[in-house]
Amino acid sequence: MNKEASIYGKQTRISEWFIYGAIYLSAAFATLLLVFIIVYVAFKGAGVINWEFLTTVTSTLKHTVGIAGNIVNTLYIVVITLLIAVPIGVGSAVYLNEYARPGRLVNIIEFTTETLAGIPSIIFGLFGMVFFGEVIGLGYSLLTGSLTLTLMILPLITRNTQEALRTVPDSYRNGALGMGAGKWYMIRTILLPSAMPGIITGIILSIGRIVGESAALLFTAGSGYLLPRAGAFFHKILESGGTLTIQMYLSTSKAEYDVAFGIALVLLILVLVMNLLTKFLAKHFDVNRER
């Protein structure tokens, strides 16, 4: 370092260029990694995906390889999980934001929500397998998988709804209450509609989580890949069914890399769409969302 450095001369420090280099390199790594993943998967998977792949189930008799069953299973799991988790998650957020007074109960609820968000999916899988599968007796079924995932995405929905409720100005509440609305009426007609973009963001993030989930489903929803029989759509929820991710894992471990890349591409496209949807929502409704 120059001891007689003048305040007019700009010092150049070689070491700083290295640090800048490291910073740019790190950022470039993260970005190029994504580009690489997308290009590689698209390149390998594009050849596999065709109409037959998407609309048939794998069958040695008919010589078809397809993932229609897995797509349907994924839809089942997404719908059932959201049907259970969204009311509970939103209700919980409403309680925490609108009813609860700061105190022990709130602390416990917030701590457990935090904890639930930190538990790895494999633990949910073990718990789901024992509790929903064996104690309640649902076995390997789509319902077991959905109930397990419900626990997993609950914090995501609660957190996003809370975030959205916080951005609703207090004047809305006071206005509604001042005009004589009951609290429940106020929540139903003012708060929830105002918080809707945040709730939907939470739902989309949850769908992304569910679609990408594998460890929690392997031992709860099982790995069935058949389409539901005609007229047994409802009964299907008590049968085993592997989602796209599960099928992809199984195909990979059986070294059927073509199928795996086909599914990987489908999953990537889904993830991209979800991501764009959340972006769109955040932009158009100006929800300040923090993760």
Binding to other proteins by CB under 8 A, coded x per residue (else -) over 80-109, reads: -------xxxxxxxxxx-xxxx------xx
Number of residues that bind other proteins (CB under 8 A): 96
Residues numbered 251 to 290 that lie near other proteins (CB under 8 A) are: 252-253, 257, 260-261, 264, 267-268, 271-272, 274-275, 279, 290
Structure tokens belonging to residue 67: 């993932």
Cα separation of the two ends of the chain: 42
Shortest CB 146 distance to other proteins, Å: 14
| 220 binds other proteins per the rule CB under 8 A | no
Shortest CB 60 distance to other proteins, Å: 22
Shortest CB 237 distance to other proteins, Å: 21
Residues numbered 1 to 60 that lie near other proteins (CB under 8 A) are: 7, 11, 13, 16, 19-20, 22-27, 29-31, 33-35, 37, 40-41
Shortest CB 173 distance to other proteins, Å: 6
Phi, psi at 286, each rounded to 5°? 50, 50
Task: Calculate the CA 271 to chain-centre distance.
Answer: 9
- Cα separation, 185 vs 200, in Å, equals 21
| 140 binds other proteins per the rule CB under 8 A | no
Shortest CB 242 distance to other proteins, Å: 12
List residues bridging with 64 in a β-sheet.
59
Tell me the residue type at 116: L
Structure tokens belonging to residue 161: 């709804």
| 113 binds other proteins per the rule CB under 8 A | yes
Give the residue, chosen from 79, 126, 196, 238, that forms a contact with other proteins under the rule CB under 8 A: 126
Of 250, 41, 60, 169, residue with least CA distance to 240: 250
| 111 binds other proteins per the rule CB under 8 A | yes
- Cα separation, 207 vs 160, in Å, equals 14
Q: How open is the CA angle 84-290-192, to the nearest 5 degrees?
A: 45
> Are the CB atoms for 251 and 260 separated by under 8 Å?
yes
Shortest CB 225 distance to other proteins, Å: 16
